[in-house]
Amino acid sequence: MKKEVQVHSLFSDFDIYLFKSGKHYRLYEKFGAHIMEVNGEKGVYFAVWAPSAKSVSVIGDFNYWMEGEHPLNVRWDESGIWEGFIPGVQKGTKYKYKIQSHVNDQKLEKADPYALSCEHPPNTASVVWDLDYKWKDKKYLGTRKEMNRLDKPFSIYEVHLGSWRRNMDENRSLTYSEMATELVDYVRETGFTHVEFMPIMEYPYDPSWGYQLTGYFAPTSRFGTPQEFMELVDAFHKAGIGVILDWVPSHFPEDKHGLGLFDGSHLYEHPDPRRGYHPDWKSLIFNYGRNEVRSFLISNAAFWLDKYHVDGLRVDAVASMLYLDYSREDGEWEPNEHGGRENLEAISFLRDLNNEVYGSFEGVQTIAEESTSFPMVSKPVDLGGLGFGMKWMMGWMHDTLEYFKKDPIYRQYHQNDISFSMTYAFSENFTLPLSHDEVVYGKRSILGRMPGDEWQRFANLRLLYSYMFAHPGTNLLFMGAEIGQHEEWNYNGSLDWHLLQYDYHKGIKELITELNKLYKKQPALHEKQFSNEGFEWISYDDSQNSVLAFIRKGEDPKDSLVIVCNFTPNTLQDYSIGVPKAQKLKEIFNSDDKKFGGSGIKNKTLKVEKESFHGKEQSVKITIPPLGAVVFQIL
């Protein structure tokens, strides 16, 4: 093989202009390692950004990792880009960049920030790869815009691929290819509309769960090749299920082969530790004011939507990006130019991100994990918002789980905790999350929080999920919650699938399946899920009985549903509620159904009386089962 590096470039002058302006959103087509043919010779073109480098060479198993054997050429235009074509390098070649820096003359070995594939951790080399794959999801993509609209069902199953299910014979996680059958079949069976993967981009440290990334453009090699991950996405699309990826533009680890001090300088991270170092996570924070970094991050978001056909991005730790004083004491942060605590550069970056995503990819959604009251997170950029499609409703999650932890005898004193979310439910497009963060670090599993004896604990869990699906907004449930997992989540193990041999656990799974069917079938539960026009209280102040009653509405008034929740273990008979104009109420869902593990207390079709109650001209007497939720159709 020839040793010399040939001069070659994929960058036009306009590419360089866009890159330096922070407006190049397809950098993966230029940077990285690209298999190609130049002047009749097959090989690989390499390009890397390292403006503080004295020299950059490609080292790898093709040249025995010898520094200086294949030096790249620096561009003349002061872009800081080093590039060149090396004949004879093939797919599967392991490589890194050897960088000699102007800063203290230090020498660094770095993985390729744009690598399409990486070695299996703990090894850290990049791998020359391609993205050749014959997609079979054209029909699905043609319907995605309709399916992912904000007035459509959005029920998300959150998954950690390494611990969803394991091959016990070989004591390993399933591969992408195995999950293309087993996981897809399971999500389809339980009725979720979307699956959300905790980060699948390459990460070095298993206990980080993937939230400390080093390979932003490479699906982790733990479970297979890039093409096998494409096969998994394709299989979900064939089943009509959308795929959302957790995406982490908020911080990155200090691993020596990663982005930190990439060319000896603070290239990707902010140079001021008050803005460039995260004290909680011991990680580095991107410099959102540097144009080339903005181009890198937005290109990365576009990459997964473009090359892997994913249907949405759930953006991690947005609150940590928005505030300069996030998790910092006085004196540990510096105000912005207006004297405020907002990170103006990060806010601008998020708006640019959402403008690009929604402007270039039809039918996708971005979802913000944002835990503060920052305004207009899920409002359009042109109206002054951040431009996300949805935002996690962390307040609902916290208040609801705290309420359910209480012995039912004390719930009468905390009625406001369970009803308060409705006071702000329509200020954003909210997703109600019961996520992985709620079942770790001693918080216990969702079932483990429920009070009472075994029957009451499972009844409380059925009630919690039923209330969640009946509440305005979309839903997210972390894996294991749908089978009533006893133990906290273990990233290094498997869900306790053996629990499904027991009736109560089987009943929880059946309940979730039934709730997903109800959510998809009933327009009142999704058509106006983000609008106050889709919700009306019947009663929120019966603290003595710990009862909530409300109406959910769709576009057609005939689709309205009446939902009643009893948060005590007492059966409430002849309980009067006011109802809209109707002749009858028909029970269409009851969390106390015996098939879910309940006691089987039900309502027959009920005749509405012309007797005013709760401010309505008519009323009806119902039976509310213990620790139960009932959904009625208005006839």
Question: In terms of Cα–Cα distance, which of 467, 466, 475 is closest to 430?
Answer: 475
Q: What do you get for the CA distance between the two ends of the chain, in Å?
A: 79
Does a cis peptide bond (omega within 30 degrees of 0) precede residue 51? no
- C-alpha 223/C-alpha 121 separation (Å) is 11
Among residues 83, 255, 316, 527, the one annotated as catalytic is: 316
Using the structure block, give the residue that is written with the tokens 């002749």: 583
Residue 388 Cα distances to 247, 318, 356, 366, 375, angstroms = 13, 11, 11, 5, 12
* Helix (H/G/I), strand (E/B), else coil: 517: helix
Q: Cα 61–66–71 angle (5° rounding)?
A: 100
Burial class (CB in 10 A: 0-12, 13-18, 19+), 130: middle
Which one from 369, 370, 527, 592 is the annotated catalytic residue?
Answer: 369
228 Cβ contact partners less than 8 Å away, ≥ 6 residues apart: 175, 176, 177, 180
Which helix (H) or strand (E) is 548 found in, with range? strand 547-552
Q: Under a CB-based contact definition with an 8 Å cutoff, are residues 409 and 397 in contact?
A: no
User: 71 burial class (0-12, 13-18, 19+ CB within 10 angstroms)?
Assistant: middle
132 is catalytic: no
> 3-state DSSP helix/strand/coil percent for the chain, to nearest 5?
30, 25, 45
Is position 316 annotated as part of the catalytic site? Answer: yes
- Burial environment of residue 401 by CB neighbours within 10 A (0 to 12, 13 to 18, 19 or more): middle
CA pair distance 175, 282, nearest whole angstrom: 31
Q: What are phi and psi of 516, to 5 degrees?
A: -65, -40
Burial 603-620 (b: 16+ CB within 10 A, else e): beebebeeeebeebebbb
Angle between helices 176-190 and 503-521 (to 10 degrees): 80
Cβ contacts of 4 within 8 Å, gap of 6 or more: none
Start-end of H helices in 406-496: 415-419, 446-449, 454-470
Which residues are within 8 A (CB) of 58 and not within 5 positions of it... i.e. 6 or more apart?
A: 5, 46, 70, 72, 84, 86, 95, 96, 97, 98
Give the C-alpha separation, 240 to 238, whole Å.
5
Question: Minimal CA–CA distance to 431: which of 383, 481, 395, 403?
Answer: 395
In degrees, to the nearest 5, what angle opens at C-alpha 613 toward C-alphas 611 and 615? 120
Nearest to 498 by CA among 245, 33, 166: 166
Query: How far from chain centre, in Å, is Cα 448?
Result: 24
Alpha-carbon gap, residue 398 to 437, rounded angstroms? 11
| Nearest-angstrom CA–CA distance, 399 and 416 | 10
Give the helix/strand (H/E) hosting 155: strand 155-159
C-beta atoms surrounding 520 within 10 Å:
16
217 backbone dihedrals φ, ψ, rounded to 5°: -110, 10
Catalytic residues: 316, 369
